[in-house]
Chain A
């Protein structure tokens, strides 16, 4: 297989690779390719980082207490807020 088609092969499985959703043999092959192909390595690293940055951002989102208060009121549960 040419180097180019290996890259294509890699891209087609990149999501499954990220999710650890491929069989060990294919995983080994893909990881071998990553050692030889800086481009695919950067691609997968930046893809992982992209997801990671959103997950970091997500951790900082909270429900403001006023939002919770108004929600309980709308649901006529405000006597149960504690």
Chain B
């Protein structure tokens, strides 16, 4: 996001509706994408988006400008998403930080290099489904770190600010998320490579 805030905080706090509408238009795409990635469901993503802006509206008077407007909105949205995921977890098996590779893990031998697969193969509908399944398999905190850092391009510092944790925690979560996703995609694409070579 831009360094310079294009929306006047002063106008927002004064209840300027045009400024609020401008803020909604400026940030709703990013917040919607975050919610969609976190929940994996368009209806829930829309719900979170609405809830986040309602909370932002009610909380504007408390916004101190200590962090950027974008960070503040990201935080409201991420909290809302994580809260819902926690509610879901109560109904299902708890998925707390499952780790396929621990920090002291070894690089597995005989790795398959699936990078060279044709674009059509990497972007197939089945491959896209596998991507979705893999990201949903991450624990919510790992997923949040991955989405904010790798998909939204936030810095470690900004992501830590949004998720109210330390930069070290963000780094660890990002590493674990990336490794876990690679592991799942690798087993899928390796199998595809084998099937293609047997045709």
Contact = CB atoms under 8 A, between A and B. Distances in A.
B20 A46 contact: no
B49 to A, nearest CB: 6
Q: Chain B interface mostly helix, strand, loop or mixed?
A: helix
Interface string B8-35: 0000000001101100100011001100
A43 B105 CA distance: 13
Nearest to B25: A68
B57 A75 contact: yes
Given A50-B185, A72-B21, A80-B18, A11 B107 contact: yes
Q: Chain A interface mostly helix, strand, loop or mixed?
A: helix
A54 B135 contact: yes
B192 to A, nearest CB: 13
A22 interface: no
B85 interface: no
Interface residues of B, number: 48
| A-side interface size class | 35 or more
29 contacts: A8-B106, A11-B107, A14-B175, A39-B109, A42-B113, A42-B115, A43-B107, A45-B115, A46-B113, A46-B114, A46-B185, A49-B115, A50-B181, A50-B185, A51-B178, A53-B122, A53-B123, A54-B151, A54-B181, A55-B150, A57-B128, A58-B37, A61-B33, A67-B46, A67-B49, A71-B46, A72-B21, A77-B24, A80-B18
